[in-house]
Amino acid sequence: MLTYPDGATALVTGGASGIGAACAKRLSDDGVRVVTADIAAGADERLDVTDPDAVDSLRTRLGRVDILVNSAGVVGPSAPLVDVGLEEWRRTFRINVDGTFLLCRAFVPGMVEAGWGRVVNLASIAAKDGNPGQSAYSASKAAVIALTKSLGKEVATTGVLANVVAPAAVESPMNAGTDPAILARSQSLTPMARMGRPEEIAELVAWLSSTALSFSTGAVYDASGGRASY
């Protein structure tokens, strides 16, 4: 069992299903008080991560959290770049990038003030490889990586650590509407020849959220079944 500060509270966005729900369960199993937030039903808090007023309201209600897991996200359009509409592009960035930014901006100051905190942002192997037919998703997840690298450096001496997990394709509701050809390509590039499971990603997220982590910030941790090459 991993250890966390006594009475630690975690906020997991996208916590109603998929990776977010698996992370919430894993942290809860270790005794962490977990609050899930999602626009979908089934979460503790209904939250549109793109709405700054809603994020600020949640911060007011919850107060300080010790662990922030930004798992809310969308795949976005599955089409060649030249066929992607501007609003589809912007929506993907609003959810994947703006949402991560707004949650970090809201909750990291409380962690800094307390002298301890963990931020884990979910990106994707697509952020490194650039999936054909998923330009908006790939670019937005690359932005999440860069955001986290910057944040990790900014708070490196405060006791707050910020890191990224970059999975390959995972069996989750978020991928339910993904072009099957894109998922097949991802699996063909994965030496383990299968998709990941949410609970496998949650194990890595839990470690990055715990007191076991002490000398890593602004780093990218792959969970790709061997697909990652750098």
Q: In what order do the strands lie in the sheet with 220-223?
A: 45-46, 33-38, 9-13, 67-70, 117-122, 160-167, 220-223
Q: Could you give the percent of the chain with pLDDT greater than 90?
A: 84
Per domain, the residue ranges of the chain are 9-219
Has 137 been annotated as catalytic? Answer: yes
Q: What pLDDT is attached to residue 230?
A: 73
Residue 188 reports pLDDT greater than 80:
no
pLDDT in tens, 71-121: 999 999 999 999 999 999 999 999 999 999 999 999 999 999 999 999 999
Q: Is the dihedral of CA 180, 199, 63, 163 positive or negative?
A: negative
Q: What pLDDT is attached to residue 193?
A: 78
pTM summary value = 0.94
Conformation bin of residue 63: beta by default, left when phi > 0, alpha when psi is -120 to 50: left
Average model confidence (pLDDT) across the chain: 94
| Residues paired with residue 69 on neighbouring β-strands, in sequence order | 12, 120
Q: Which of 153-167, 184-198, 204-218 has the lowest mean pLDDT?
A: 184-198
Six-digit token pair at 29?
């199993």
| pLDDT band at residue 176 under the 50/70/90 scheme | low
Domain at 9-219: CATH architecture: 3-Layer(aba) Sandwich (3.40)
Alpha-helical regions (H) of 2-85: 18-29, 52-62
Q: Which of 10-24, 40-54, 132-146, 190-204 has the lowest mean pLDDT?
A: 190-204
Determine the residue type at 181: A
Residue 187 reports pLDDT greater than 80:
no
Query: Cα(137)–Cα(32) distance, rounded to whole angstroms?
Result: 31
